[in-house]
Amino acid sequence: MADPLNVASCLRAMRRAGAAGEPVPADMAAMWAKVCIEELYGMQKPVRYECRRRGSNDPWEEAEPGDVTHPRRRNLVIRALYLHPPVGKQQHRWPPGSNGDGRCLDCDETEWLAGPECRPHAPLRDHRSAMPFRITWLIEPLEKLLYLTKYLNPFDRAKWRKETTYLIDRIRDHEKGSQP
C-alpha cells in the first residue's frame, strides 16, 4: 500500500481497508492519524501560555515554563493562546446616490449609524421546509371537499366532484407506485 500524502488519499485508503475487513498494521494506522492531524490541524505552536489557580476567577497571568510543565502539582489551569490571521473586514455597500441617509445593501444598517465594518445578518430559514410532508395527507381534505359539493349548484357540483375524484385517484396511484 502506497503512503498517503494528503487527507483525501489517506481516507480513501482507510475506506478500502475497512471494506476489505482485514486487520490493518499499527504503523499504517499511526501514519494515517499523523497525516490527518498534520494536514487538517497543522503543527501550531502557541504564542503564549496563561495560567490561573484552579477554581478561581482571577485574571489570567502569563505562565512560567515550570507552570506549563507541572500544572497539576501547582494547582493551575493552563490555556494556550494561538495567533490567528485577522478576519478580513467587509465594507458597507451603500445604494448609489445616498447622501448619508441610505441603508447598507448587505446588513440593512443606516448610513449615519453604521459601524466601521459590515456584518450581514444570516438569512432567515423557512422552518416549514424542514417539516416532513407526504402527499397522502391531501386525501382527507379532498374527500371533505368532495362531501361539501352537495351544497353547490348542479354545474359546479359536477365540476368539483370530477376534479376532486381525479386528484384523489392520482394521489393513490402515485402512492401505490412509490411503495417499495
Summarize pLDDT for 69-86 with one digit per residue, the tens. 999 999 999 988 866 554
With pLDDT > 70 as the criterion, what percentage of the chain qualifies?
85
Closest CA to 68 of 82, 54, 79, 57: 79
Does the pLDDT at position 3 exceed 60? no
Q: What is the pTM of this model?
A: 0.30
pLDDT for position 144: 94
The residue that leads in pLDDT, 36 or 123, is: 36
Q: What end-to-end distance do the CA atoms of the chain give, in Å?
A: 41
Amino acid at position 151, single letter: Y
The residue ranges of every structural domain in the chain are 7-41, 48-81, 88-121, 135-178
- Asked if 140 contacts 132 with a C-beta cutoff of 8 angstroms, the reply is no
Does the pLDDT at position 131 exceed 60? yes
Beta bridge partners of 110: 103
pLDDT for position 112: 73
pLDDT for position 41: 63
Task: Say how far apart CA 54 and CA 134 lie, in whole Å.
Answer: 55
The residue that leads in pLDDT, 107 or 164, is: 164
The residue that leads in pLDDT, 53 or 115, is: 53
pLDDT for position 84: 55
Task: Say how far apart CA 39 and CA 5 lie, in whole Å.
Answer: 9
Residue 108 makes CB contacts below 8 A (sequence gap 6+) with 121
pLDDT in tens, 19-72: 998 899 999 999 888 888 777 766 667 778 899 999 999 999 999 989 999 999
- Asked if 70 contacts 60 with a C-beta cutoff of 8 angstroms, the reply is no
Does the pLDDT at position 148 exceed 80? yes
